[in-house]
Amino acid sequence: MPDKHALLSSSSAHRWLNCQPSARLCEAIEDTPSDYAIEGTDAHSLCEYKLKKALDMECTDPTENLTYYNEEMDESAEGYKDLILEVLEEIKKDGCKDPIVLIEQKLDFSKWVPEGFGTGDCVIVADKKLYVVDFKFGKGVMVSAHENPQMMLYGLGAFELFDALYDIDKVHLIIYQPRLSNLSEYEMSKEDLLKWADEVLVPKAKLAYEGRGEFACGEWCQFCKVRSTCRKRAEASLALAAFDFKKPPLLENSEIEEILPKLDQMTSWAEDIKAYALGMALSGHKWKGWKVVEGRSIRKYKDEKLVASTVASEGYDPFEKKLLGITEMQKLLGKTKFEEILGGLVIKPQGKPALVKESDKRPEFMPATADFVDEEK
């Protein structure tokens, strides 16, 4: 679950390790949890309950108190629980008969980061290996476990807890992100983790804690509280805008390759500026040459039940019959029956081509191959 009250939190480590002064700047901004954050907290609570129930631990079903509970969240939490059970089964097959499982465990890594702590969704101790599992319900950005600083901080906290008792020599990091079908794993030795902590983490954490270091912008700006008014980010985005003086056909391929990785950051910066300006205007600030107007809206029923009963009383049917969606149909029939009678009637259409970074896990789309396949049909 999200870390609270830590200046150098594990969840924001990617940002403050790259842009050390941002830690103190963000500290001055009040936390205002977004709907996405509340949704994520709900999903974590459900995951905790399902896993504890599966492991016969004391727990209370939180469902009725969850603001954003839905079928997708329930399925995601089930998947998380199943993943942990699979990991435990593999651990036992490898010879560890009684692994220790800690759920929502506070992890203290203040030995390396001033006042640093976080909460590990699931920590498993298996002889000489630590497993740290993190559940991510968000689907905006796919997160990799490979050299992930948040996960490595969790690894340090878990290592500090158990190394003296179990002589840990490896840390296995797992990120489960069900809504993006992302299961990412990364394993590192104790020596490599401690080397990173001493050579990279400690000096940068010291700078961040003291409010020193260099400002730097990148993908880590996305969740920074001061991203809308950050001068460094503005300078970088405006420098990229210099390319606008050339029409795209006149750009060299090398220039396009330079621009591509920065476009999302520039677009995000522009949207953040607009959102900040609107918020200020709604608070009473007058921007020269700009005004706030009411946006377009569509008609809607103010009481759907009353509308239905009113129309029905006039002798009309207010409802339309609609085929259940795949998820709802599978729930109605059960997975086995669904596959038995409808397996051959369900297809997955080809997705719309998208240009992404090479690090994306999806296989490369080959237009020529796709055309060839279409011709043979």
The whole-number pLDDT of residue 5 equals 61
Could you give the CA distance from residue 156 to residue 216 in angstroms, rounded to a whole number? 26
In a domain, 162, yes or no: yes
In a domain, 140, yes or no: yes
The neighbour count for residue 216, using CB atoms within 10 Å, is 17
Longest dimension (CA), the chain: 77
Helix residue ranges per DSSP H, the chain = 13-18, 22-27, 35-54, 71-93, 149-166, 190-196, 202-209, 231-240, 253-282, 304-313, 326-333, 335-342, 367-376
Could you give the CA distance from residue 62 to residue 65 in angstroms, rounded to a whole number? 6
Residue where one domain finishes, among candidates 209, 244, 274: 209
The whole-number pLDDT of residue 326 equals 87
In a domain, 360, yes or no: no
Q: Tell whether 182 and 248 lie within a shared domain.
A: no
* Sign of the CA dihedral running 64, 68, 74, 79: negative
Residue from 153, 196, 142 nearest 13 by CA: 153
The whole-number pLDDT of residue 248 equals 66
Residue from 208, 269, 194, 195 nearest 238 by CA: 269
The whole-number pLDDT of residue 244 equals 59
User: Phi-psi category of 331—alpha, beta or left, where left has phi over 0 and alpha has psi -120 to 50?
Assistant: alpha
pLDDT tens series, the chain, 377 aa: 444 568 899 999 999 999 999 999 998 888 777 888 899 999 999 999 999 999 999 999 999 999 999 999 999 999 999 999 999 999 998 888 889 999 999 999 999 999 999 999 999 999 889 999 999 999 888 899 999 999 999 999 999 998 878 888 999 999 999 999 899 999 999 999 999 999 999 999 999 999 999 999 888 888 888 888 888 888 887 777 766 556 666 778 887 888 788 777 778 777 888 888 888 888 889 888 888 888 777 888 999 999 999 999 999 999 988 898 887 888 899 889 999 999 899 988 877 787 877 777 778 887 754 454 444 44
Exposed e or buried b for every residue in 145-162, given b needs 16+ CB within 10 A? beebbbbbbbbbbbbebb
In a domain, 313, yes or no: yes
* Axis crossing angle, helix 71-93 with helix 35-54, rounded to the nearest 10: 40
In a domain, 204, yes or no: yes
Q: Tell whether 99 and 152 lie within a shared domain.
A: yes
Q: Tell whether 316 and 263 lie within a shared domain.
A: no
The whole-number pLDDT of residue 243 equals 65
Q: What value, to the nearest 5°, has the Cα angle with vertex 294 and ends 292 and 295?
A: 110
Q: Tell whether 203 and 121 lie within a shared domain.
A: yes
Q: Tell whether 59 and 190 lie within a shared domain.
A: yes
Q: Tell whether 167 and 274 lie within a shared domain.
A: no
The whole-number pLDDT of residue 31 equals 78
Q: Tell whether 122 and 82 lie within a shared domain.
A: yes
Could you give the CA distance from residue 301 to residue 162 in angstroms, rounded to a whole number? 58
Looking at the DSSP assignment, which residues form a beta bridge with residue 174?
Answer: 133, 185
Could you give the CA distance from residue 318 to residue 308 in angstroms, rounded to a whole number? 6
In a domain, 6, yes or no: no
Pairing of strands 170-177, 129-135: parallel
How many domains does the chain divide into? Answer: 3
User: Phi-psi category of 256—alpha, beta or left, where left has phi over 0 and alpha has psi -120 to 50?
Assistant: alpha
Q: Which CATH number characterizes residue 122's domain?
A: 3.90.320
The whole-number pLDDT of residue 54 equals 94
Residue where one domain finishes, among candidates 209, 241, 258: 209
In a domain, 295, yes or no: no
Q: Tell whether 62 and 140 lie within a shared domain.
A: yes
3-state secondary structure of 265: helix
Q: Tell whether 62 and 183 lie within a shared domain.
A: yes
Q: Tell whether 182 and 327 lie within a shared domain.
A: no
In a domain, 5, yes or no: no
Q: What value, to the nearest 5°, has the Cα angle with vertex 326 and ends 320 and 329?
A: 70
The whole-number pLDDT of residue 76 equals 95
pTM of the model: 0.71
105 membership: H or E segment, kind and range: strand 100-108
Q: Tell whether 197 and 274 lie within a shared domain.
A: no
Find the domain containing 320 and state its range: 304-341
Q: Tell whether 201 and 149 lie within a shared domain.
A: yes
